[in-house]
């Protein structure tokens, strides 16, 4: 068999040397038909087709070689052949995708990113945003620290009206920036997100919290208000607004919003604490409601202070009641939540203690 193949190859080579390319190709095709996995022969025939200007047939044969190398695990050789095809037919977008996959297998992340970026730019230029989104998702997965890829992905999702997914991407990137202490970059990102006019605004809470913590109350108020107009029932944004109202001395507005939060969440200790903070900072110290709350807190606080004498049985897995009560009564934020917390402590005490 080998002798027969060698003779067929010699005949084809002689014809090629004499410049009889068509006849040489015919002989080589006979070899390929008899030995379809002979990679070296496939490559020679592909080169001959290229010499006579039959690029499509040459590429078809080169792809067969790339397939063989890929299946056999020779990624480096497959990459070399695919790059050859890429030079001959740069419009073949599937080749970029295959190259990227092989680069990833080889651990060549930068090279893979370059292939994906070419694809993403091509699809975006042609207006094929869905394919561009698919490629940008791959870029984000490949390089999670690539902020620009996240931003482009989110913007494209907005163009496709995939609003929830777009906000999820903005929020994920924003939180990463905040965790790294890049508050200015995070603010620019969230502002950009708001410029896309999303229907909801509660994703802005982490930024507003960070701005308040940094003392940038004006920016927190501006962005919090913009977000609140979109999501007025978000407790996170209600809390932001109450705190900014109090910062700017708008106690009545803060109290009205805090009451609304408690009304919507009567069992929420966080809402109770928010209302307590608003009541404590109300302008008039003689305000009847404030006085009532303070008296109630004082009365129930005295009951609470007696609870440690009876409510800390051995083996208690929760923090000692005394420590809980001390924290509550010392916290200026928690006056209006004392009653709520006391009820819980009493119930716990009755369950675990005999009188």
Q: Work out the average pLDDT over 307-332.
A: 41
The domains of the chain, with CATH numbers, are 1-90 (1.25.40.10), 200-283 (1.25.40.10), 304-355 (no CATH)
- Contact in structure between 111 and 103 (CB atoms under 8 Å): yes
Which pLDDT value is given to residue 287?
53
Query: What's the confidence (pLDDT) of residue 2?
Result: 65
Q: How many CB atoms lie within 10 A of CB 31?
A: 21
Q: Are 136 and 156 in contact (CB under 8 A)?
A: yes
Q: Report the pLDDT value the prediction gives residue 12, as an integer from 0 to 100.
A: 76
CB 9 within 8 A of CB 19: no
Residues 99-157 pLDDT 10s: 999 999 999 999 999 999 999 999 988 889 899 999 999 999 888 888 888 888 999 99
User: What would the two tokens of residue 347 be?
Assistant: 């119930």
Residue 25 near residue 52 (C-beta atoms within 8 A)? yes
Band of pLDDT at residue 291, cut at 50, 70 and 90: low
Flag whether the pTM goes above 0.85: no
| Cβ atoms of residues 29 and 12 within 8 Å | no
**Is residue 1 very low, low, confident or very high in pLDDT (cuts 50, 70, 90)?**
low
Judge residue 186's burial from the number of C-beta atoms within 10 Å of its C-beta, 0-12 exposed, 13-18 middle, 19 or more buried.
buried
- With bands split at pLDDT 50, 70 and 90, how would you rate the model's confidence at 350? very low
Residue 250: CB atoms within 10 A of its CB come to 16
């Amino acid at each position: 068999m080998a002798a027969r193949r060698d003779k067929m190859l010699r005949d084809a080579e002689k014809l090629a040397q004499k410049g009889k390319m068509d006849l040489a190709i015919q002989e080589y095709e006979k070899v390929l038909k008899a030995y379809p996995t002979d990679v070296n022969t496939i490559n020679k025939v592909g080169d001959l087709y290229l010499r006579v200007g039959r690029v499509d047939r040459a590429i078809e044969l080169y792809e067969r070689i790339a397939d063989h190398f890929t299946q056999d695990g020779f990624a480096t050789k497959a990459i070399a052949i695919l790059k050859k095809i890429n030079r001959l037919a740069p419009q073949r977008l599937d080749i970029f995708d295959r190259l990227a996959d092989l680069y990833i297998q080889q651990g060549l992340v930068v090279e893979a990113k370059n292939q994906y970026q070419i694809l993403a730019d091509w699809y975006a230029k042609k207006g094929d945003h869905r394919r561009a989104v698919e490629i940008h998702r791959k870029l984000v997965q490949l390089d999670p620290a690539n902020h620009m890829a996240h931003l482009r992905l989110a913007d494209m999702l907005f163009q496709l009206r995939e609003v929830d997914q777009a906000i999820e991407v903005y929020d994920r990137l924003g939180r990463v920036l905040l965790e790294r202490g890049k508050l200015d970059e995070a603010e620019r990102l969230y502002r950009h997100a708001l410029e896309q006019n999303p229907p909801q605004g509660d994703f802005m809470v982490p930024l507003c919290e960070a701005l308040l913590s940094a003392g940038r109350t004006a920016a927190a108020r501006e962005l919090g208000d913009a977000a609140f107009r979109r999501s007025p029932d978000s407790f996170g944004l209600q809390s932001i607004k109450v705190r900014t109202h109090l910062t700017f001395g708008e106690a009545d507005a803060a109290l009205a919003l805090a009451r609304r939060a408690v009304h919507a969440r009567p069992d929420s200790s966080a809402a109770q604490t928010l209302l307590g903070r608003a009541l404590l900072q109300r302008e008039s110290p003689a305000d009847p409601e404030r006085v009532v709350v303070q008296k109630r807190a004082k009365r129930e606080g005295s009951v609470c202070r007696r609870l440690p004498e009876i409510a800390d049985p051995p083996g208690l897995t929760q923090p000692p009641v005394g420590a809980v009560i001390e924290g509550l009564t010392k916290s200026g934020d928690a006056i209006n939540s004392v009653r709520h917390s006391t009820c819980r402590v009493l119930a716990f005490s009755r369950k675990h203690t005999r009188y």
